[in-house]
Amino acid sequence: MSRSFIGAIFIFVTALFWSSVARTEGKTLVIGRVSDDPRRTYGELKPMVDYVVSHLHDLGITNSEVVIAKNAKEMVKILKDGKVDWVQKGVFQAIRYEQEAGMEIMLRSWREGAPDYYTVIFTRNDSGINDLNNLKGKKIAFQDAGSTSSFFTPAAVLIREGLELEELSSPRDKTPANKIGYAFAGDEISITTWVHRHITDAGAYHNQDWENPTHNPEAMKKDLKIIYRSEKLPRMIELIRKDLDPAVKARIKEVLLKAQEDPAAKEALIHYGPKTAKFDEFKGSAEAELETGRHLVKYIEHRVNIH
């Protein structure tokens, strides 16, 4: 797939969105996401928004569109302008959209069979590192600057513990004294590899990655140990435009809550996320996890850019 073709898809989707808004005068349900892969993202979102729209015809919603923003700043502007009705995000970004862009937290999304997850920080068994304070002067590998479990959560935890972080241009760079240097590995298997090969002293991702042999092969896992487990957080969060018609908001919520019981939703759930298992409300433990996220975000909101 050429870059020019992917770029054309992005332009087409965006143009289609703006023309449809004028044409349908609010009769379209618009779902959005930040992505650098418009073709893949469109394929993930379109089946789900089409499925939901199929239950909204009696409320006057008969069309669906997908809007793909190139970054968080662009998405926040689109949300503020009321041009996107529905987004899915990790807890830190969801809280940003709630606070800055007029979005309302609606439901929790289950991914890969799990309603929640937690971050693990790990090192080699022979590293001599046994707790977070031992990471001073060391290096840690994160996934990327938009990852909840492999950047925002561990960064917030480390800052909460009074530790200072500094981004490195390369994992081979020297870490300043009494700070923790961090570098982005790009994916989970690279994080595992960097730690196993002594490129970084520690790594961080979520508990499902730790148990996934694709991300943490047994040949390497046997040489690694977890030194910290974070509090549990919601796996993903669905947000809805706060000023959307209340009847439409209520119906969307109802449809999503029943989706796992509907055979017609099976393909949409598989693609959405991907591998979304179900949706549930923020009650009980789910509500407590959301509050944990609200607490943790305070440690990083002015220190790192929440994508």
pLDDT (tens digit, 9 = 90+) per residue, 57-80? 999 999 999 999 998 889 999 999
* 284: helix, strand or coil: coil
Range(s) of the domain holding residue 247: 3-112+235-282
Say if 304 falls within a structural domain.
no
Kindly report whether the peptide bond that precedes residue 274 is cis, defined as omega within 30 degrees of 0. yes
Residues 45 and 137 reside in one and the same domain: no
Residues 163 and 254 reside in one and the same domain: no
24: burial class by Cβ within 10 Å (0-12, 13-18, 19+)?
Answer: middle
pLDDT (tens digit, 9 = 90+) per residue, 69-128? 998 889 999 999 999 999 999 999 999 999 999 899 999 999 988 999 999 999 999 999
pLDDT (tens digit, 9 = 90+) per residue, 21-71? 433 345 999 999 999 899 999 999 999 999 999 999 999 999 999 999 998
Residues 272 and 225 reside in one and the same domain: no
Residues 106 and 240 reside in one and the same domain: yes
Say if 213 falls within a structural domain.
yes
Residues 11 and 30 reside in one and the same domain: yes
User: pTM, whole model, 2 decimals?
Assistant: 0.86
Residues 17 and 108 reside in one and the same domain: yes
Q: What is the pLDDT of residue 304?
A: 66
pLDDT (tens digit, 9 = 90+) per residue, 138-172? 999 999 998 999 999 999 999 999 999 999 999 99
Residues 91 and 162 reside in one and the same domain: no
